[in-house]
Amino acid sequence: MAPKPTSKKQGGIDLKSDSAQISGSEVAGRDNIKGISGKDVNQIIETLLKHFPKGYLQNPGELDKTLTDFRRYHEQLHEYKELHNGVNEILISFEPFKAEMDRSNSRRELPKLVLLRDLWRPVSMCVISLLSWSQTIKFIGKPFQELEDKSKSGEDWAIQFSELQARINNHLGLNQYSTEPVAYPSIIQISAFQRFGVEIPWWGALTELTSSFSHVSSHHMNSADKQLRQTAQELFNLSNKALSNY
């Protein structure tokens, strides 16, 4: 292994001096970076010298790991924030649909199918938007995919939203590929439900799906918030170590 440079002009930087210096107007040879001028490289190094403790700068491996961790945590924060926003949009669009379901159950009144469809469509579109974005994630888990055999892979939140959205779409007859008629209850079934509380299987199934969707949405919103807080704390701890306590 070659001996470490002892001159300030060797390698461009003397990290052992009390005030490290950069020699020349440009960092020469191997210190040049494609697309960045020597002057820009000098400025970057001067910034590192100003803000990072000498111990990091004398240990390139540790410095590289620290900067890599900074980038990873920032990317995770961004993706968790996008997940939070996506689930929040789902919850907001879902509230009118859920409120109509709750109101109808409390009064033993079944809303018209066209109303249920109108209230559900915005929720379905928000889920589609989230699933489209979930195919691009890189730092908070495995991207969502629908495989050729109709199975799905990815994070739990993506798979669960996908499955529940598809089931409710099918139940309301919003699946363009389905040829089965919607089993919306007859007038006799609705009358028996209103007068005697006789269970309507179609309506009971929709109530269960609504409850499941509500639970999944709330759970994954709380989970996204928790991950945001944890990642922010990790980033703070890393910053504190790198810039204060090293």
- Each residue's pLDDT tens digit, 46-87: 665 566 666 666 666 776 777 788 788 889 999 999 999 999
Whether residue 87 sits in one domain with residue 32: no
Whether residue 218 sits in one domain with residue 159: yes
Whether residue 187 sits in one domain with residue 88: yes
Whether residue 195 sits in one domain with residue 172: yes
Whether residue 163 sits in one domain with residue 41: no
Provide long-range contacts, Cβ within 8 A and 24+ apart, for 242-245: 242/52, 242/53, 242/56, 242/66, 242/70, 243/51, 243/52, 243/53
Considering the domain boundaries, does residue 241 fall inside one?
Answer: yes
Among residues of the chain, what percentage have pLDDT more than 90? 58
Which tokens belong to 189? 């079934």
Distances (CA, A) of 117 to 7, 97, 137, 168, 174: 76, 9, 31, 10, 8
pLDDT of residue 48: 57
Whether residue 75 sits in one domain with residue 48: no
Instruction: Examine the fold and report which residue of 21, 36, 58 is the final residue of a domain before the chain moves on.
Output: 58
User: Per this entry, what is the length of the chain?
Assistant: 246
Q: Could you give the CA distance from residue 178 to residue 170 in angstroms, rounded to a whole number? A: 7
pLDDT of residue 32: 45
Instruction: Examine the fold and report which residue of 34, 58, 82 is the final residue of a domain before the chain moves on.
Output: 58
pLDDT of residue 7: 42
Considering the domain boundaries, does residue 122 fall inside one?
Answer: yes
pLDDT of residue 29: 40
Name which of 55-69, 125-139, 159-173 the model is least confident about: 55-69
pLDDT of residue 137: 98
Q: Where residue 93 falls among pLDDT bands split at 50, 70, 90?
A: very high
Q: Where residue 216 falls among pLDDT bands split at 50, 70, 90?
A: very high
Residue 36's φ and ψ, nearest 5 degrees, are -130, 130
Whether residue 188 sits in one domain with residue 161: yes
pLDDT of residue 235: 84
Greater model confidence, 145 or 179: 145
Task: Report the predicted TM-score, pTM, of the whole model to 2 decimal places.
Answer: 0.76
Considering the domain boundaries, does residue 209 fall inside one?
Answer: yes
Which tokens belong to 42? 């000098």
Whether residue 168 sits in one domain with residue 124: yes
Considering the domain boundaries, does residue 64 fall inside one?
Answer: no
Whether residue 105 sits in one domain with residue 44: no
pLDDT tens readout for residues 174-198: 987 767 789 999 999 999 999 998 9
Considering the domain boundaries, does residue 185 fall inside one?
Answer: yes
Q: Where residue 234 falls among pLDDT bands split at 50, 70, 90?
A: confident
User: Alpha-carbon torsion 92, 95, 97, 98, what sign?
Assistant: positive
pLDDT over 50 at 20, yes or no: no
Query: Quick one: which of 56, 32, 45, 171 has its CA closest to 113?
Result: 171
Considering the domain boundaries, does residue 191 fall inside one?
Answer: yes
Query: Quick one: which of 21, 9, 138, 166 has its CA closest to 75?
Result: 138
Q: Where residue 14 falls among pLDDT bands split at 50, 70, 90?
A: very low
Considering the domain boundaries, does residue 65 fall inside one?
Answer: no
Q: Where residue 9 falls among pLDDT bands split at 50, 70, 90?
A: very low
Residue 183's φ and ψ, nearest 5 degrees, are -85, 50
Whether residue 155 sits in one domain with residue 47: no
Q: Where residue 138 falls among pLDDT bands split at 50, 70, 90?
A: very high
pLDDT over 80 at 231, yes or no: yes
Considering the domain boundaries, does residue 2 fall inside one?
Answer: yes
For the chain, how many structural domains are there in total? 2
71-89 b/e with 16+ CB inside 10 Å = b? ebbeebbebbebbbebbeb
Residue 153's φ and ψ, nearest 5 degrees, are -130, 155
pLDDT over 50 at 246, yes or no: no
Could you tell me the residue range of the domain that residue 145 belongs to? 71-245
Whether residue 84 sits in one domain with residue 51: no
Mean per-residue pLDDT of the chain? 82
Whether residue 42 sits in one domain with residue 134: no
